[in-house]
Chain A
Amino acid sequence: MPLLTVHGARIPFQPGLSLRDILDGTDYRVRAGCSGTGACGLCLVRIEQGMVGEPTQVEKLHLDQASLEEGLRLACQVIPSEDLRITIVSGAPLPGWKRPVRSHVKEYGFVDRKDLPAGVEHPLGIAVDLGTTFIGLSLWDFTSGRCVTGRQGVNPQTGHGSDVMTRLLCACESDQKARTLREQAFEAIGEALQDISLREGINPHEIVRMVLVGNTAMLTLLGGTNHELLLKPRYWTIPIDSPVEYLQRWPAQHGIHLSGSVWVVPSLAGFVGSDLLAGVLSTELTEKGNGALLIDFGTNTEMALWDGKSLWVTSAAGGPAFEGSGIGCGMPAEKGAIFRISLDKSRFAFDVVDGAAPLGLCGSGLVDLLAILVRSGWLDETGRFLPTIDPGGFVLSTDHPGIVLTKKDVDTIQRAKAAIATGVRILMAEAGLGRKELKRLYVGGTFGQWLDVANAQEIGLLPDIEATSISLCGNTALAGCEDLLMSPSCVKRLEGIRACAKVVDLSAHVGFQDSFIENLYLRRMRMR
């Protein structure tokens, strides 16, 4: 068999497989955001030695002539037949579960235990937020009403598509694929539980209740059925069942208490998941007066507006730009990400996650940079750089010439922000609320962690309301899931929220295109 040499390792391979397929079976995996069709363009490798075929059409789309000449290729498109030496340019994120640091975690005090299985001395519960990109879990103690520990890790389904649509399409390809995706989510949760029990000495048999929330796509993929319905627009605004029939085998397979209960909280409609409902719950959006808006940033940004009678909900497919994805210089808020930027005279100062050497910008860093560039006139409201700026893009610091913001990056951010702002505007219009009637704003999602609200308002990503009326809430979905786990009154409140929810389909709205264009401008959001 021919040999593939990668970073010093020698891997024998079967000719006929793509480089990506070969690497997926090893510890040297490439980054990927699609199922190997070439759509995402993320699986970059450099051919160091050996013969491979000519670049495919798809590769020419993602790579310019200079890159191809340098030997850059997409691993999914290269099918080697003889000995080859390569370097992985973009590796897959390391698997593994981290214990996230969370700022505001509630305490529930006394918890009514009469519904829990008898005979467990120290009953515990698990809340799970099954996100498109990340899975978040937290372990709770029913005796003290406190959070014991938590985990966050990458949803392994990302290998089959980083966005919801690609992943749904993958599941629709065959029953086998759908089963693979289902098992991936199921096993990831199991792994996280195992990690908790091993590292923190928790007996999983004491876990007597599990509650899970997620967007509708993630829930149907977890259930293994009905995902195909989500490809049809008429299902977006109506409820979709995501039965998880094999729930009975969860306790045994995950090693939790055998009479433990598992509740997958149903979604509201095709594009409004139980993660948003949980967010409404945890922010008490409907509890503290009218005119409250929740924007839960994510790959799909979901939002809810409470007008005192109805809860107007929608989802804006803005793409993962604010998670640093799809932007040349973008990256998730991990070690090496610039998360805050300020301009002091003509010098940029920036803060980097973990104080490491900067590798790129995460969402909050991108927002800061755009606001600064517009404020100083280097970038106009239309997204055009000053003619004096290199056509190759804006270099943040000469010490880090690799971190470049291009016009295309700005365009991607403009589109993402326009989708969200259009959602806000249409929800406000549907509810008949004017700008002055918007009293409170809750920003959900990890993106909010370091967000400079004033900068976000300046480029029109958030509506213009008093900074004191804006709360940055972190993971509102997980927090709401915890409410459902620990508090029976919250379970009741959720039913009330469902009953008054009104789903708005942005794409069906007549004013969508005009509002979208208006919101592409990098300027303050205009509202009635």
Chain B
Amino acid sequence: MSVERLKEALLDGDQNRAVLEAKLVRDAGVPSETIVTEAIEKAMEQLGAKCTVEQFNLLEIMLVGRAVTAVMKWLFPEGAPPAAVKGAAVLASLEGDVHDLGKNIVKTVLIAKGIGVIDCGKDCSLHKLIETAEREKAQFICISGLITSIVPQVRRVRELCMSRGLQRIRIVAGGAALKQSTAENLNVDYVAENAFDGARYIAEILEA
């Protein structure tokens, strides 16, 4: 099965081979949407399962991410069609945190799951984050944090959402600095063990 070969190329992090396999699969008549669900989502699931037992290192994850992004770009050069996108999640690393590798991994995983992503970048102020969430009618706010100095900011997100009447937004936190805390402690809805765990949580809510 060539969908299987595409999945393997993705998991090997081989960008060129993955795009090539994707072309072969689509030339064989498989629709783009099926490629996403059968190859990309499956590859990400496998990666997620292995990540938790530390079988993948950062480079491997980044390479898979890169390959997935390349295939998605090839499949949807104009960006994914609105029908294929579920939900909307706003992503950011907060003010003072300039590390965005982790956030970018989350972004790739969410896109691969067909979830709409609005990226607020790194060193993002709470003001900008909430504004964006309001403007984009987001259902999720995802905060990735590598340094513990941002914890007080994370704790304020809920109250700021409330003050704008955005009480239905779910707040997800993750990253080295945040995953040591509990959801109650951070005043968020969910603390993700890693990018895949966070994406799983979001997908489950969207499906419910």
User: Considering the chains assembled together, what is the distance between the CA atoms of A169 and B148 in angstroms?
Assistant: 8
Which residues of chain B come closer than 8 Å to A169, judged between CB atoms?
148-149
Which residues of chain B come closer than 8 Å to A58, judged between CB atoms?
180
Q: Which of A500-523 contact B (CB under 8 A)?
A: 507-508, 513, 516-517, 520-521
Which residues of chain A come closer than 8 Å to B95, judged between CB atoms?
232
Q: How many residues of A contact B (CB 8 A)?
A: 30
B96 x A520 contact (CB < 8 A): no
A384 x B149 contact (CB < 8 A): no
Which residues of chain B come closer than 8 Å to A415, judged between CB atoms?
58
Which residues of chain B come closer than 8 Å to A172, judged between CB atoms?
149
Give the total number of A-B pairs whose CB atoms are below 8 A apart: 63
Q: For A38, A169, A172, which residue has the most chain B Cβ atoms within 10 angstroms?
A: A169
B101 x A231 contact (CB < 8 A): no
Which residues of chain A come closer than 8 Å to B147, judged between CB atoms?
165
User: Considering the chains assembled together, what is the distance between the CA atoms of A508 and B66 in angstroms?
Assistant: 21
A520 in contact with B148 given A57-B182, A231-B96 (CB within 8 Å):
no
Q: Which of B130-184 contact A (CB under 8 A)?
A: 147-149, 179-180, 182
A414 x B66 contact (CB < 8 A): no
Which residues of chain B come closer than 8 Å to A46, judged between CB atoms?
none
A520 in contact with B54 given A38-B180, A169-B148, A231-B96 (CB within 8 Å):
no
A407 x B57 contact (CB < 8 A): yes
A57 in contact with B98 given A382-B59, A517-B66 (CB within 8 Å):
no
For B182, give the chain A residue with the smallest CB separation. Answer: A57
A513 x B57 contact (CB < 8 A): no
Which residues of chain A come closer than 8 Å to B55, judged between CB atoms?
407
In the assembled complex, the CB of B12 is this many whole angstroms from the nearest CB of chain A, namely: 10
In the assembled complex, the CB of B184 is this many whole angstroms from the nearest CB of chain A, namely: 11
In the assembled complex, the CB of B101 is this many whole angstroms from the nearest CB of chain A, namely: 7
Which residues of chain A come closer than 8 Å to B119, judged between CB atoms?
none
For B13, give the chain A residue with the smallest CB separation. Answer: A382
**Residue B70 at the chain A interface, CB threshold 8 Å:** no
Residue of B54, B59, B96 near A521 (CB, 8 A) is B59
Residue of B13, B96, B148, B182 near A166 (CB, 8 A) is B148
User: Considering the chains assembled together, what is the distance between the CA atoms of A58 and B176 in angstroms?
Assistant: 12
B98 x A233 contact (CB < 8 A): yes
User: Considering the chains assembled together, what is the distance between the CA atoms of A210 and B176 in angstroms?
Assistant: 40
For B149, give the chain A residue with the smallest CB separation. Answer: A231
In the assembled complex, the CB of A5 is this many whole angstroms from the nearest CB of chain B, namely: 30
For A517, give the chain B residue with the smallest CB separation. Answer: B62
User: Considering the chains assembled together, what is the distance between the CA atoms of A389 and B190 in angstroms?
Assistant: 37
B54 x A408 contact (CB < 8 A): yes
Which residues of chain A come closer than 8 Å to B182, judged between CB atoms?
57
Q: 1/0 per residue A366-408: CB within 8 Å of B?
A: 0000000000000000111000000000000000000000011
**Residue A410 at the chain B interface, CB threshold 8 Å:** yes
- 17 further A-B pairs in the complex, CB-CB below 8 A; given A165-B148, A233-B123: A57-B182, A165-B149, A166-B148, A231-B96, A382-B57, A384-B60, A407-B55, A408-B54, A408-B57, A411-B57, A411-B58, A414-B58, A415-B58, A507-B122, A513-B100, A517-B66, A520-B62
Listed A/B pairs (23) with beta-carbon separation below 8 Å: A37-B180, A39-B180, A57-B182, A165-B147, A165-B149, A169-B148, A172-B149, A233-B98, A382-B13, A382-B60, A383-B60, A384-B57, A408-B54, A411-B57, A411-B59, A414-B59, A507-B122, A508-B98, A513-B100, A520-B58, A520-B59, A520-B62, A521-B59
